[in-house]
Amino acid sequence: MALILTEEQQLIRESAKGFLADKAPIGELRRLRDTKDEVGFSRELWQDMTEMGWAGIVVPEEYGGLGYGYVGAGLILEEMGRTLTASPLFSTAILSVTALARLGNERQKNDLLPAIASGRLIVALAIDESAHHNPADIALEAHRKNGGYVLNGNKSFVIDGHVADKLIVPARTSGRRGQPSGLTFFVIDAGTTNVAIRRSIMVDSRNAARVEFANVAIGAEQVLGPPDQAFDDLEYVLDVGRICLAAEMLGIAQEVFEQTVQYLRERKQFGVPIGSFQALQHRAATLFCDIELCKSVVLKALQGIDEKSTLLPALASLAKAKTGETTRVAVNEAIQMHGGMGMTDEFNMGFFIKRAEVARQTFGDPNFHADRLARLNGY
């Protein structure tokens, strides 16, 4: 596949740009934060997004979705990076749909996918258990009892955990912590007895939660996919998530970079635009180059999902590492080059660096992924 966008994909991007500028510009995130909105996103906005088809963007058509593919989804996320729009798109329409479409049996797919596509269901994926992302280290226990399972343990940093109707949870059904084998996925109602969900207020004003499981009893029919063997599928879902986060970070990087270059052209000190200073010109130019590289890797990785590439794990780590690192530089340079103004809460740049850092760390930071890529390459 050539590394260019088709006309249809360009249209998706244009329409996303227009929609978000109209319904969810960056002022919206500020409003949600300042009013301490309990949901953390606008349910009205989610309805509007659903009408655009976004809730079902990668839901297969036979389950009521658009089946547009991940390049399309990635382009929407990129635009949402530019406006820092809060919504359950990532948790529900991307991560959970990906897990369900890949692993669900017919009953599960019929029960859940159409409901997601029509905006009626929010589903969160609960993966991490500590401050450092390490899926093989899952310790949440699920042992067999009375034909079902009993869960004990915690999940943290669960995106949209406190507003989810259902949770998709990988837990350990056999083997030892640190081993990739022995994991099983479960689909659990958020309201199940003994499930305690507590919202975490995060630096980026976006949704996260801690979930505690204290002797949570569930049925065997709540198993998602083959028991004890969830790791490879978990990595696949995470890789899709990592690539989509890279797409969002690319949107952030481009947005802050463009604003910064504009500022360099306009801001005058010592009687001249500060953009005429060569030191700033060179820093802007090198950052430009790295952002161009990120565009290439994000597109290649998104295409890799659609093409079912065997290189997907490597592409995901490539995209997450390169874009994570470049976006970090971009937001830091954006603040620095805006001077004192960049440090004020009144200015929007603060929101960008905060979101960039959360996205950078989610599902593995650049160090995690550089290490993973080295392992995949045999060293």
Joined together, the tokens standing for residue 195 give 């499930």
Task: Kindly identify the residues of this chain, within the stretch 340-369, that bind other proteins according to CB under 8 A.
Answer: 367
Cα-based distances in Å from 64 to 53, 89, 109, 311: 10, 16, 11, 30
CB of 217 to other proteins, least distance (A): 40
Helix (H, G, I), strand (E, B) or coil at 59: coil
Pick the piece of the chain touching other proteins (CB under 8 A) from 82-90, 143-151, 210-218, 272-280: 272-280
Q: Which is nearer to other proteins, 122 or 321 (CB)?
A: 321
CB of 138 to other proteins, least distance (A): 22
Q: For tokens 């979930």, what's the residue?
A: 211
The answer to the question of residue 138 lying near other proteins (CB under 8 A) is no
- Which of 273, 306, 309, 332 touches other proteins by CB under 8 A? 273
The answer to the question of residue 265 lying near other proteins (CB under 8 A) is yes
Angle, vertex CA 317, rays to CA 315 and CA 318, nearest 5: 60
- Which of 82, 172, 242, 322 touches other proteins by CB under 8 A? 322
Burial 163-186 (b: 16+ CB within 10 A, else e): bbbbbbbbbbbeeeeeebebbbbb
- Which of 52, 284, 329, 358 touches other proteins by CB under 8 A? 284
CB of 277 to other proteins, least distance (A): 9
Asked if residues 305 and 240 have their Cβ atoms less than 8 Å apart, the reply is yes
Joined together, the tokens standing for residue 243 give 């690539």
The answer to the question of residue 123 lying near other proteins (CB under 8 A) is no
- Which of 278, 308, 310, 346 touches other proteins by CB under 8 A? 278
How much is the CA Rg of the chain, to the nearest whole Å? 21
Conformational region of residue 20, where left means phi above 0, alpha means psi within -120 to 50, and beta covers everything else? alpha
CB of 316 to other proteins, least distance (A): 12
- Which of 294, 335, 337, 356 touches other proteins by CB under 8 A? 294
Distance of CA 365 to the CA centre of its chain: 13
The answer to the question of residue 293 lying near other proteins (CB under 8 A) is yes
Joined together, the tokens standing for residue 341 give 């103004």
d(CA 329, CA 239) in angstroms, rounded, equals 23
The answer to the question of residue 310 lying near other proteins (CB under 8 A) is no
Site residues, other proteins (CB under 8 A)? 2-5, 261, 264-265, 272-273, 275-276, 278, 280-282, 284-286, 288-289, 292-297, 299-300, 318, 321-322, 367, 370-371, 373-375, 377-379
